[in-house]
Structure 1
Amino acid sequence: MKKDNWQLENTYTELPEIFYSLHQPVPVTKPELVCFNEVLADQFGLGFLDQENENIADYFSGNVIPDGAKPLAQAYAGHQFGHFNMLGDGRAIVLGEQIDTTGKRFDIQLKGSGQTPYSRRGDGRATLYSMLREYLISESMFHLGIPTTRSLAVVTTGEKVFRGQMHNGAVLTRTAESHIRVGTFEYARHFGSTEDLRGLAMYTIERHYPDKKDTDNPGLELLKTVMHKQIDLVVDWMRVGFIHGVMNTDNMSIAGETIDYGPCALMNSYNPNTVFSSIDTQGRYAFGNQAHIAQWNLTAFANALLPIISEDQKKAVQLAQEVIDGFQYKFTERWYKMMFDKLGISHPEEKDKELVDNLLALMETHKADYTQVFLTLQQDTLIENALFKSEDFKDWRQKWEATYLREGLVGPSLELMNRSNPKVIPRNHWVEHVLNTAARGEMEPFNELLEVLSKPYDDHPEDLQFQQIPEDFDAGYQTFCGT
Structure 2
Amino acid sequence: MKLVHTYADLGSTFSSHVQPQPLDTPELVSVNQDIVQLLSCADFSEEQLAQLCNGEMIPEGGQPVSMVYSGHQFGVYVPRLGDGRAILLGETEGSDGVLYDLQLKGAGLTPYSRDGDGRAVLRSTIREYLCGEALHSLGIPTTRALCLINSNTPVYREQVETGAALLRVSESHIRFGTFEYFSHTRQLDALSQLVDYVVERHFPEWTDADDKAANLLSEATRRTAEMVAQWQAVGWCHGVMNSDNMSILGHTIDYGPFGFIDGFNAVHICNHSDWHGRYAFNRQPDIGYWNCSALASALLPLLEGKEQAEDLIKQYPSFFSKKYASLLRAKFGLSSSKEGDSQLFDEVFQLMHDERTDYTIFFRALGKPDLQDLFIDRDRFNSWSNKYEKRIAQEPSSLDEIIKSMSQVNPKYILRNHLLQIAINKAENGDYSEVNKLLKIIRQPFSEQPEFESYADSPPDWAGDLEVSCSS
Distance 1:358 1:237 in 2: 20
SS at match of 1:152: strand
Distance 1:82 1:47 in 2: 44
State which drifts further: 348-357 or 217-226.
348-357
In structure 1, which of residues 324, 327, 344 is the aligned counterpart of residue 316 of structure 2?
327
State which drifts further: 458-467 or 291-300.
458-467
**Structure-1 residue corresponding to 2:458:** 468
Matched, 1:56 2:49: yes
**Structure-2 residue corresponding to 1:204:** 198
Distance 2:339 2:178 in 1: 40
State which drifts further: 186-195 or 79-88.
186-195
Whether the 8 Å contact between 1:262 and 1:482 is mirrored in structure 2 is: yes
Distance 1:78 1:223 in 2: 17
Whether the 8 Å contact between 1:127 and 1:482 is mirrored in structure 2 is: no
**Structure-2 residue corresponding to 1:19:** 14
When residues 101 and 408 of structure 1 are mapped into structure 2, their CA distance, relative to the original with a 3 A threshold, is: closer
In structure 1, which of residues 452, 468, 474 is the aligned counterpart of residue 441 of structure 2?
452
Shift of 1:7: 2.3
Matched, 1:82 2:75: yes
Whether the 8 Å contact between 1:378 and 1:414 is mirrored in structure 2 is: yes
Distance 1:151 1:378 in 2: 36
Whether the 8 Å contact between 1:275 and 1:283 is mirrored in structure 2 is: yes
Distance 2:385 2:455 in 1: 22
Whether the 8 Å contact between 1:28 and 1:63 is mirrored in structure 2 is: no
Matched AA of 1:469: P
State which drifts further: 104-113 or 270-279.
270-279
SS at match of 1:211: helix
When residues 394 and 155 of structure 1 are mapped into structure 2, their CA distance, relative to the original with a 3 A threshold, is: same
When residues 382 and 414 of structure 1 are mapped into structure 2, their CA distance, relative to the original with a 3 A threshold, is: closer
Whether the 8 Å contact between 2:105 and 2:168 is mirrored in structure 1 is: yes
Distance 1:251 1:48 in 2: 34
Shift of 1:378: 4.2
Distance 2:462 2:432 in 1: 27
Matched AA of 1:174: R
**Structure-1 residue corresponding to 2:419:** 430
Whether the 8 Å contact between 1:100 and 1:106 is mirrored in structure 2 is: yes
Whether the 8 Å contact between 1:154 and 1:172 is mirrored in structure 2 is: yes
Whether the 8 Å contact between 2:375 and 2:381 is mirrored in structure 1 is: no
Matched, 1:392 2:380: yes
Shift of 1:287: 0.8
Shift of 1:130: 1.1
Distance 2:402 2:153 in 1: 53
Shift of 1:248: 0.3
Whether the 8 Å contact between 2:364 and 2:407 is mirrored in structure 1 is: no
Matched, 1:46 2:31: no
Matched, 1:188 2:182: yes
**Structure-2 residue corresponding to 1:440:** 429
SS at match of 1:350: coil
Shift of 1:17: 2.1
Matched, 1:266 2:260: yes
SS at match of 1:18: coil
**Structure-1 residue corresponding to 2:151:** 157
Matched AA of 2:350: A
When residues 408 and 200 of structure 1 are mapped into structure 2, their CA distance, relative to the original with a 3 A threshold, is: closer
Distance 2:96 2:424 in 1: 34
Deviations 1:242-261 (A, max 9, x none): 10000000100011111011
SS at match of 2:352: helix
Distance 2:466 2:22 in 1: 35
Matched, 1:73 2:66: yes
When residues 456 and 122 of structure 1 are mapped into structure 2, their CA distance, relative to the original with a 3 A threshold, is: same
Matched AA of 1:14: D
1:177-256 residue pairs with structure 2 within 5 A? 177-256=171-250
Distance 2:60 2:330 in 1: 47
When residues 384 and 473 of structure 1 are mapped into structure 2, their CA distance, relative to the original with a 3 A threshold, is: farther
Whether the 8 Å contact between 1:134 and 1:262 is mirrored in structure 2 is: yes
SS at match of 1:341: helix
State which drifts further: 29-38 or 435-444.
29-38
Distance 1:42 1:338 in 2: 30
When residues 114 and 322 of structure 1 are mapped into structure 2, their CA distance, relative to the original with a 3 A threshold, is: same
When residues 273 and 69 of structure 1 are mapped into structure 2, their CA distance, relative to the original with a 3 A threshold, is: same
Whether the 8 Å contact between 2:334 and 2:395 is mirrored in structure 1 is: no
Length, aligned pairs only: 469
**Structure-2 residue corresponding to 1:295:** 289
What TM-score does the superposition give when structure 1 sets the normalisation length?
0.93
Distance 1:145 1:35 in 2: 22
Shift of 1:472: 5.9
Whether the 8 Å contact between 1:404 and 1:410 is mirrored in structure 2 is: no
Shift of 1:380: 4.2
Shift of 1:463: 4.9
Matched, 1:359 2:348: yes
**Runs of 5+ consecutive residues of structure 1 not aligned to the other structure:** 1-5, 311-315
Shift of 1:117: 0.7
Matched AA of 2:424: L
Whether the 8 Å contact between 1:340 and 1:356 is mirrored in structure 2 is: no
Deviations 1:293-324 (A, max 9, x none): 000000000000001112xxxxx110111122
What TM-score does the superposition give when structure 2 sets the normalisation length?
0.95
Whether the 8 Å contact between 1:16 and 1:196 is mirrored in structure 2 is: no
Whether the 8 Å contact between 2:20 and 2:55 is mirrored in structure 1 is: yes
Distance 1:200 1:379 in 2: 52
**Structure-2 residue corresponding to 1:313:** none
Matched AA of 1:356: F
